[in-house]
């Protein structure tokens, strides 16, 4: 959901902003409504031959979890630019062909722009350049194992992507479509 | 994820609080980390004979969406108490037997306690008592249709429950288990 135009930013943080506005109710009375906006984030499905890169990460507040290359989009950056930079830093891989798989905009009380890109024919061109808050091991998964990742509670990924992966497990037509988008 | 003990509340809102703390990184440097806490919420799977109550709701900022009876747990209230009150107000139904189906605590940057209760053998004992911000139509779904609801993007429910429903679609053993919990 988008932040309403008449909303006022009442808190500005490192990663989260809070907005409030007076909302007219069905009977004409008013209530203070509140929404969060989270800094945008982007993730990459990086294809190496017939495999997808999956990171096994550790962060200072989070024990080992699987994720995709990606991260927070700094203000002034575009999601694709961030996707390319994060993939390069976290994996040392580069791709010539990029396309957007999907983007989502959070849930009812949270505005959160998440985008997932597909990076095709990735090649290793350098080593990792990790932040002080990252420990990352690169692994490679085939499509079937990748789909099963959505069932892993520790898998950190955009919710929209997780639902897309579940849909592929539930509906064979959607599975074919997703496989085509990633590998064709 | 729980809010770290050393975190300071830097914003207190209507529905959201923001916390910050200085986090030691792997190289000993420090960064300001931020997390949200959202007011707890509870939902009810209300069983009437072999059907589940599903609400078709409208709210001032949200066009028609399916959901379960439930709502925000006010400070000082227990989730079960809220579940009973919301079910009574939104549907006019009551149940003698209640049990907890599951509870969840948000994602990595958000502390959000959500609980889902099962209310068995519900009976209509009164009319609806709706808030100024609610328009609610009561419908009844069988178990198969209810499970398919998780695939509806407009279905507003705890993420943990949505994943539990997807798991039931993907894994027939989990489907049997969930059906048993709800109807037995």
Contact call for A156 and B108, based on CB within 8 A: yes
Name the most confidently modeled range: A59-73, B79-93, B124-138.
B79-93
> Of B1, B11, B23, which is closest to A60 when you measure between CB atoms?
B23
**Residue B60: which pLDDT band, with cuts at 50, 70 and 90?**
confident
Query: Nearest Cα to A44, choosing from A101, A113, A106?
Result: A101
- Flag whether residue A11 sits within 8 Å of chain B, measured between CB atoms: yes
Question: Rounded distance, CA B180 to CA B147, Å?
Answer: 14
The residue of A40, A61, A136, A173 whose CB has the most chain B CBs within 10 angstroms, and thus the best one to mutate to test that interface, is A61
The contacts of residue A103 (CB under 8 Å, 6+ apart) are A79, A113, A114, A115, A116, A160
> Using CB atoms, which residue from B11, B62, B133 is nearest to A31?
B133
pLDDT of B152 reads: 96
Please report the pLDDT score of residue B138 as a whole number.
96
Average pLDDT estimate for B84-94: 96
B105-139 pLDDT, tens digit each: 998 789 999 999 999 999 999 999 998 888 999 99
What ipTM did this prediction achieve?
A: 0.89
Q: Which residues 29-48 of B have a C-beta within 8 angstroms of A?
A: 29, 31-34, 36, 38
- Using a CB-CB distance cutoff of 8 angstroms, which residues of chain A are in contact with residue B23? 60-61, 133
- List pLDDT tens digits, range B161-181: 999 999 999 999 999 999 999
CA A49 to CA A182: how far, in whole Å?
A: 11
Nearest CB neighbour to B15, from listed A11, A34, A159: A34
Looking at residue A133, its pLDDT comes to 83
Query: What's the confidence (pLDDT) of residue B62?
Result: 86
Torsion angle defined by CA atoms of residues B48, B45, B142 and B54, in that order, rounded to the nearest 10 degrees: 90
Answer whether B13 sits within 8 Å of A26, measured CB to CB: no
What is the percent of chain B where pLDDT is above 90? 88
What confidence score (pLDDT) does residue B2 get?
Answer: 84
Mean pLDDT rounded to a whole number for chain B = 95
**Inter-chain touch A34–B13, beta carbons under 8 Å:** yes
Instruction: Note whether A18 contacts B: Cβ–Cβ < 8 A.
Output: yes
Pairwise CB contact (< 8 Å): B11 & A13:
yes
* Cβ-proximal residues to A107 (8 Å cutoff; 6+ apart), any chain: A1, A159
Q: How far is A50 from chain B, CA to nearest CA, in Å?
A: 24
For residue range A127-178, list pLDDT tens digits in order.
999 988 889 999 999 999 999 999 999 999 999 999 999 999 999 999 999 9
Interface of B with A in 150-179 (CB under 8 A): 151, 153, 156, 159, 162-163, 166-167, 169-170
User: Does B94 score more than 90 pLDDT?
Assistant: yes
Res B150: pLDDT? 97
pLDDT tens for each residue of A100-132: 999 999 987 899 999 999 999 999 999 999 988
Distance CA B150, CA B131 (A): 26
What six digits make up the tokens of A131? 């932040």
B25 touches chain A (CB under 8 A): yes
Answer yes or no: is pLDDT of A1 > 80: no
Q: Please state, for a pLDDT cut of 70, what percent of chain B lies above it.
A: 100
* CB atoms A16 and B36 under 8 Å: yes
> CATH classification of A40-183 is 3.90.79.10, yes or no?
yes
Check if A103 contacts B (Cβ < 8 Å). Answer: no
* B132 vs A26, A131, A170: nearest CB: A26
- The pLDDT assigned to A2 comes to 84
Contacts of A33 in chain B (CB under 8 A): 14, 61
Q: Provide the total of helices (H) and of strands (E) in chain B, helices listed first.
A: 4, 11
CA distance A24 to B174: 43
Position A128 scores a pLDDT of: 93
Give the tens place of pLDDT for each residue, A30-55.
Answer: 999 999 999 999 999 999 999 999 99
A13, A25, A167: residue with CB nearest B132: A25
- List chain B domain ranges: 8-37, 40-183
Between the CA atoms of A150, A153, A158 and A161, what dihedral angle is there, to the nearest 10 degrees?
10
pLDDT of residue B132: 85
pLDDT above 90 as % of chain A: 89
Whole-model pTM: value is 0.91
B147: alpha, beta or left? (left if phi > 0; alpha if psi -120 to 50): alpha
Q: Rounded to a whole number, what is the largest CA-CA distance in chain A? A: 62
**pLDDT given at position B133:** 83
pLDDT number for residue B169: 98
B34: nearest CB among A10, A14, A23: A14
């Amino acid at each position: 959901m988008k932040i309403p135009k008449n909303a006022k930013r009442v808190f500005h943080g490192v990663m989260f902003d809070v907005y409030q506005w007076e909302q007219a109710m069905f009977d004409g009375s008013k209530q203070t409504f509140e929404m969060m906006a989270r800094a945008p984030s982007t993730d990459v499905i990086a294809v190496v031959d017939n495999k997808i890169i999956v990171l096994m990460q550790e962060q200072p507040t989070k024990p080992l979890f699987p994720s995709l290359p990606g991260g927070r989009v700094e203000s002034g950056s575009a999601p694709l630019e961030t996707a390319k930079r994060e993939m390069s830093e976290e994996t040392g891989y580069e791709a010539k062909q990029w396309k957007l798989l999907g983007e989502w905009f959070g849930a009812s009380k949270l505005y959160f722009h998440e985008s997932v890109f597909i990076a095709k024919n990735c090649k290793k061109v350098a080593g990792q350049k990790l932040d002080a808050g990252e420990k990352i091991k690169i692994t490679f998964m085939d499509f079937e194992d990748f789909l099963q990742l959505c069932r892993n509670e520790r898998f950190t990924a955009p919710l929209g992507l997780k639902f897309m992966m579940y849909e592929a497990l539930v509906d064979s037509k959607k599975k074919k479509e997703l496989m085509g988008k990633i590998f064709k």
